[in-house]
Structure formats: C-alpha cells, structure tokens
Amino acid sequence: MTEHQLAERTRAMIPRYEQVFAERGGVTPSDPLKFHLHHLARYWSRLVGFCRQVPSKPETAIDTDLGACVAVGSEFTGKLIGPNMPVHRLWQEYWKRAQAVLHDRPVTLEDVEAASRSFDDCLSELKYDPWAQ
C-alpha cells in the first residue's frame, strides 16, 4: 500500500471513529482520554496478532483498515496528551514508533511489537488498564 492509500483509509476512518466517540458510554469509557486508550489498546492487540500470522510480511495486516484504526486512534489520543503531562515523553516515543510501523517499509514483526510495547508503557505511566472493566 502506498502512503497515499493509507492516508485515504485513515481519512475514511475518521468519521466512523468520531461517531463511535460521540456515542461513547456503556461498555466504553466516557472519559475522552480513556475512551481513546481503550480502543487503541484493542487495535494494537489485534494488529500484533494479525502480524504474527504473517511474521515475514506484517504490512499485510498493517495496510488494512486496522492500520488506519491505529493511525486514527493514535492521532485522537495524541491531541489529549499535552506537554505538561507525565506521559508526554513516553507518548512521543510511542508516536515515533507507531509512525514508523504505519509508514516505513520494510517493517518487521519486531517493529510492530516494539511499537505496541511502547503504547503499553504509556498505559502503565497513566496507570490505566483498558482491559479492566
């Protein structure tokens, strides 16, 4: 997939994501930051899992709507993490790794797993477990 194609998928995903965000509550957190982290954790879990199915060619999973979901979720989350927040430095590291996974080729399974772990580091710093209900 080209950079242009990922950008198109991402643009198409934004209105759907905004609708889910507008209708949040119930099983998803109503707090905006927790909402985005909740969904992003699920996107990363799925993306890593699918990439492990094709470890020699993880872009097969990345270059799908799931990759666009990671891109959109990361962007929305990043808008809520200001420079004065303790997690900011870790988020910047995560952002760099996530952008490399989404946009740089070749990409390895190790790159995908490292980006996911970097996201997990942010969750730890925020003391937020998106899997706890």
pLDDT tens string 77-121: 999 999 999 999 999 999 999 999 999 999 999 999 999 999 999
Q: Average pLDDT of 16-45? A: 91
Q: CB–CB of 80/38 below 8 Å?
A: no
pLDDT at 3 over 90: no
pLDDT-based confidence at residue 4 (cuts at 50, 70, 90): confident
Distance of CA 59 to the CA centre of its chain: 15
Q: How far is CA 5 from CA 40, 62, 63, 68, in A?
A: 21, 12, 9, 10
pLDDT at 26 over 80: no
DSSP SS3 for 118: helix
Would you give the end-to-end CA distance of the chain in angstroms? 36
